[in-house]
Amino acid sequence: MSSNRRRTGPNGSDWRNALFIAPYLFFFLTLLVFPLFWGIWLSFHKADTFSSGAFVGFNNYVRLFNDHVFLQSIWNTFYFVFLTVPALAIIGLTLALALNSSSRLATVLRSLYFSSSVLSVTIVTLIWRIVFVPQFGLLSTIYGWFGAEAPAVLADPDLAMIGIALTTIWWCIGLPMMLFLAALQQIPGDIYEAAALDNAGWWRTLISITLPSIRRTFVLVLIIQIVLQFQLFGQSWLLTRGGPNNLTKPIVLYIYDIAFRRWDVGLGAAASEVLFALILVAAMTQYLISRRQEER
Amino acid sequence: MRIISKIVAVSVFAMMASAASAADQVEIKLQRFFGACDAQFGTNTDVGKAVGECGIITSLINKFNSSNPGIHISVTNVEWPGYDQLNAQFAAGDPPDIVTVHESALSDYQTKKLLLPLNDMLKSVGITPDQFTEAAQAGATKDGKLYGMPIDTWSELFHVNLDLFKKAGLVNADGTPIFPKSPEELIAQAEQFKAKTGKPYFVMSLANETALYMRDLYTYLFQQNSDFFADPKHIKLNTPEAKRFVEMYKTIFEKGLTTKNLDYSAALNAFLAGEGGVHLNGTWVVGDYDAQSKTPGTALNKGGYEVYPYPQLFSGAHQQFADGHTWAVSVKSRTAAQSDAIAKFLKFYFDNDYEWARTGHLPSVQAVLDSDKFKALPHRSTILAVAKLGHPLPAQVQRQFALQDIIGEEIGAAMSGQKPVDAALSEAEKRVNDLLGNL
């Protein structure tokens, strides 16, 4: 035993060291890796909620890409990501820049802007339903003051997704703002002092010092938000049920519909794999672009 | 010290007694929808005082528990319709013992052998299938056996604001509303209604809603003798009959003869606020609307509230789509005492079918339907006909809730002009058949 200990040493490759990561590894394998491969396996089978049936090859994928609702849901998801991610990044950055001070007002406003992030999706959508509901909602009341009729945001094919995006931005703005604030507070003060000595104005300081210094955080915010917003589900389900005419049905809602409401688990698994690939490609592209820029 | 010893002794005795009593008690897990109302009826056992679906079902279960000390029904309340949760429970091997299942959803579980055929269990407490109404039997019978004990029959109805109908001049000499007898008459009467009252004829819940489109499509296809589900695994919707229905509703929408953009609760509130003449909603609101009509100052109190089955607009069979609620029992290993307790609960609910029928649903028990006591309830004389007119889809049609979504999405798109009628019907047919072809 003692010779063994001597041979491996304190930093040696003793297999028992692996025990330290065993608990994590167990949950990682059982809750992430196994379901990932099981999902892939299911996507090649005709499976329902209570049984996994025959191997059907790529049939589920063929059905999937022949289903215009699925194609619509892919478009909807990208459209939603396009509506929300840039807005979250820009508004989050603007708020962070505006509130990056130690004044009491800034502290209160920071808490206020972050407070919506702690609400659950149920509460958030309830609040926004009260805003959007035709005839009796806040929007109708405001329009009513001017003698106008409010648009039926959640039932209008052109406005429904914008309504959901607005709800989401209101809900999620806290995290990007806090990440940007943390990044802004990491920038050394002497750089700003040097800029001030060089008579650099606010705009020049922002463009030449602040934004380049928080570039990595900007990329991080974009990646986090792309991954998060690709998984849109609760807001759509609770505000519009994916309607009107499937125009607000994102991929996750499509998967839920197919796998759990129609019991077509094989097709749902195939759609899940497509979503997985999309998120992976989007996040990796973002990551590689930012890395290449940094290397230059 | 002696006092403390006595307290400890009494506490231990009480705990042992309570544990012994709990051990003697048969525990049955029941899962239901119909909402939560514990604040109002959580401890009520006087069923006569309860109103509404939630109030009555909660009070009935309370009464059963209090009058059967050896049995305890523990209730899980799920959001309507609760099938996602039930599926997960079945998949995990931990389903409730008794669960509310729509007649239209029974096939899904019955074909997977997840539900118990109830004929023997019901027979053990003196209930035979012929004691149920024809509509209830038809809805709950699969492969010749009852796979759920029917507790009611429900359907969509024409809920009428009589005050607005009078203003529109659409009332007979005896005070009853005048209803159309053809699609053309429906449009003409609805236009007359709008011209005279300034309000739409219909209050429909069209936003984020699929049920109404589906139920109305089925009703008006039945009325045209369309055999759209001749094969339970294949729907035919690309037909002149389906097109006639969708075009009728599209005209209603385009001419502003219905409310638009309202979801279920907004439509309900709009009707109660007097925003339209006919609310298309189910039997379950009859009790609440009747109560409103008796409350001074409400829109329904002005000229009265009445409710009728759908008018016959086509020359085919006089039918309308109907469904029903059942108590289904999961397949699960149980003791004889547990099975007896379940049978006892089903018998209790059967015996209290009248109380449940106070919700507005039609009773599933023929004797209750025939009783003067039931007929004396408000509006039952007019909606009683649903017991005969009510018609479900063929028993073998599966995934009816999923079909509802597909059909609702496509017809909704056609009605609001987002899609041509033919394209919407073709797409609905294709999507439904893809679903049913891949079960």
Q: What is the pLDDT of residues B296-346, one digit of tens each?
A: 999 999 989 999 999 999 999 999 999 999 999 999 999 999 999 999 999
What is the domain extent for residue A257? 82-295
What ipTM score was computed for the predicted complex, to two decimals? 0.82
CATH of domain B2-151+325-381: 3.40.190.10
B208 to chain A: nearest residue by CA? A240
Which residues from A are below 8 Å from B114, CB to CB? 50
In angstroms, the CA B136 to CA B115 distance is 18
Over 60: is that where the pLDDT of B186 sits?
Answer: yes
Say yes or no: B178 contacts chain A, CB-CB below 8 A. no
**DSSP string over B220-237:** HHHTTT--TTSBTTB---
Cβ distance of A261 and B260 shorter than 8 Å: no
Neighbouring residues of B118: CB distance < 8 A, sequence distance ≥ 6: B145, B146, B147, B148, B149, B329, B346
Q: Judge: B84–A245 Cβ closer than 8 Å, yes or no.
A: no
Instruction: Tell me the C-alpha to C-alpha distance, in Å, between residue B284 and each of B156, B271, B287, B325.
Output: 9, 15, 7, 11
What count of Cα atoms within 13 Å lies in the side-chain half-sphere of residue B339?
A: 15
Rg of chain B in Å (alpha carbons): 24
- Kindly identify which residue of chain A lies nearest to residue B209, measuring between CA atoms: A241
Q: Is the Cβ pair B409, A136 closer than 8 Å?
A: no
Q: Which residues pair with B234 in a beta bridge?
A: B231
Integer Rg of chain A from CA? 25
Residue A156 has, within 13 A of its CA and on its CB side, a CA count of 12
What's the pLDDT tens digit per position in B198-240?
999 999 998 888 899 999 999 999 999 999 999 999 999 999 9
Give yes or no for residue B61 having a pLDDT over 60: yes
Structure tokens at B382: 């007019």
Query: Between 3.40.190.10, 3.30.750.80, 3.40.309.10, 1.10.10.60, what CATH number should domain B155-322+398-437 receive?
Result: 3.40.190.10
- Is it the case that residue A169 has pLDDT exceeding 90? yes
Write down the pLDDT at residue B141: 93
For position A266, which CATH number holds? 1.10.3720.10
Any domain includes A112: yes
Q: What is the pLDDT of residue B51?
A: 86
Alpha-carbon distance B130 to B365, whole Å?
9
In a domain, A161, yes or no: yes
C-alpha to C-alpha distances, B158 to A247, B236, B286, B307, nearest whole angstrom: 31, 27, 10, 6
- Residue B403: closest C-alpha in chain A: A262
CA A158/CA A105 separation, integer angstroms: 38
Domain count, chain A: 1
Shortest CA distance from A158: residue in chain B:
B418
- Among A96-105, B79-88, B419-428, the range with the most confident prediction by mean pLDDT is B419-428
Shortest Cα–Cα distance, B438 to chain A (Å)? 8
CA dihedral of residues A6, A7, A11, A12 (deg, nearest 10):
-150
Residue with tokens 């508004």: A91
CA B395 to centroid of chain Cα atoms: 17
Q: Please give the backbone phi and psi of residue A162, each rounded to the nearest 5 degrees, phi first.
A: -65, -40
Q: Where are the domains of chain B?
A: 2-151+325-381, 155-322+398-437
Residue among B80, B115, B258, B409 with most chain A CBs within 10 A, to mutate = B409
Q: How far apart are CA A174 and CA A92, in angstroms?
A: 7
Residue A63 lies in a domain: no
| Extended beta strands in B234-277, E state | none
> Rounded to the nearest 5°, which phi and psi values hold at B145?
-130, 150
Q: What is the mean pLDDT of chain B?
A: 92
Token pair of B153 as six digits: 């029959």
pLDDT in tens, B134-172: 889 988 999 999 999 999 999 999 999 999 999 999 999
Chain-centroid distance, C-alpha B403: 17
Q: Given this model, what pLDDT does residue A8 score? A: 54
Q: How far is it, in rounded angstroms, from Cα A157 to Cα A145? A: 25
